[in-house]
């Protein structure tokens, strides 16, 4: 990430990547990566768990392309 999020997203997009799976990033810290993904046509995939607060899940669904709920039983 030395070159910055936007340059990273440009490079991977040009290489044929269609989305980024980003585990373990707080929703409130996704502004920069969301903007870069949107600019270069990448899907941003965030993970939510059964313990993720409902309000965060609702916001996640509204602001990203893909949200994955993961549950280990």
Domain boundaries defined on the chain: 5-69
Residue 71 has pLDDT above 80, yes or no: no
Instruction: Supply the pLDDT for residue 2.
Output: 79
pLDDT digits (tens, 9 = 90+) for 38-61: 999 998 887 777 766 665 655 555
Supply the pLDDT for residue 46: 79
Q: Which residues contact 23 (CB under 8 A, 6 or more apart)?
A: 47
DSSP-derived pairing of the beta strands 66-69 and 19-22? unpaired
* 5-69: CATH topology: Rossmann fold (3.40.50)
Q: For the whole model, what pTM was predicted?
A: 0.71
Over the chain, what is the mean pLDDT?
Answer: 78
């Amino acid at each position: 990430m030395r070159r910055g999020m936007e340059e990273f997203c440009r490079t991977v997009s040009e290489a044929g990547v269609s989305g980024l799976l980003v585990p373990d990033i707080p929703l409130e810290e996704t502004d920069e990566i969301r903007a870069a993904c949107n600019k270069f046509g990448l899907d941003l995939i965030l993970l939510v768990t059964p313990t993720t607060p409902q309000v965060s899940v609702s916001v996640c669904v509204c602001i990203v392309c893909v949200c994955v709920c993961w549950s280990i039983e």
